[in-house]
Amino acid sequence: MAGIPPVEGAGVTLRISYFVPPPPLLDAQARGLLEDLDLQEIPTTGSPAQLAGLRDHTIDVAVTAIDNLFEWRRTGTDLRLVAQVESTTPLGIFAEDRIGSLAELSGRRFAVDAFTNGFALVARYLLGEAGVEVQWVEVGGVKERLEALLSGAADSTLLGPPFDRLAREAGKKQIVSVQETFPAFPGQGLVVRGELLGTPELHRLLSGLGEAGLLPVDTGGLDVLTHIRDALGLLPADIVLRDLLIDDLQFLSSSLPPR
């Protein structure tokens, strides 16, 4: 797809949703790269809240698991994948210290954000390959999943930084690493509402984040997510991740517009 140049227009607020502030955003803010952008940050409790915000236009940009696009696009919402905030999201299945294998999770409660999309699918894949059936409990984002594990509301869950460290400090144990099975498992993506493509505000946001380490999308990672869904029998016939990708990232290498 051709690059999207910035267009003239009145300044508006951009609202970005995330579970944890992504490093490119923190770095761009520390370096003053987003000083003249009216950016509202909206921490989220889960992917359903992100989708609701994108649909009702209270969220413009979401840092989220790329797999979410499969389900989100089925709602008819025009969303595009423009970048990754990290090359991979290091993920592990954590449980009580006395549990030493996936087999020992059989029949136990496994906390997820949303059962049908996101990081939950790689957990479903790994447990399915091991022939393990668990009780799936939807509790929310990674913070909520950690809280469920620590409180005993769940026996196991999938965690990434910095919550994996907090789990270890609380005596929990990682029993499986996602990256051991899928080294190319992609990091969280930057998803935007389609009508914002070409606006000066989005151009400035992406340019600033690009200078601070925002990454082009790794299409190999998209293939990993597609494989996982296909193996689970959950691959929509009419949605292809590569078709949702704005793959000419001229805004990542272009200089910021004059201040």
Q: Give CB contacts under 8 A, 24+ apart, made by 22-29.
A: 22/63, 22/85, 22/86, 22/188, 23/85, 23/86, 23/212, 23/213, 24/85, 24/209, 24/212, 24/213, 24/214, 25/63, 25/85, 25/209, 25/212, 27/212, 27/213, 28/208, 28/209, 28/211, 28/212
pLDDT of residue 248: 53
Average of per-residue pLDDT across 37-57: 95
pLDDT of residue 12: 76
| pLDDT, tens digit (0-9, with 9 covering 90-100), for 8-21 | 444 579 999 999 99
Amino acid (one-letter) located at 52: A
Say yes or no to pLDDT of 252 above 70. Answer: no
Say yes or no to pLDDT of 217 above 80. Answer: yes
| pLDDT, tens digit (0-9, with 9 covering 90-100), for 182-213 | 999 999 999 999 999 989 999 999 999 999 99
3-state secondary structure of 157: strand
| pLDDT, tens digit (0-9, with 9 covering 90-100), for 224-246 | 999 999 999 999 999 999 999 99
In the chain, what is the greatest distance between 2 CA atoms, to the nearest angstrom?
60
Structural domains for the chain: 14-88+185-253 (3.40.190.10), 92-181 (3.40.190.10)
Cβ atoms < 10 Å from Cβ of 98: 7
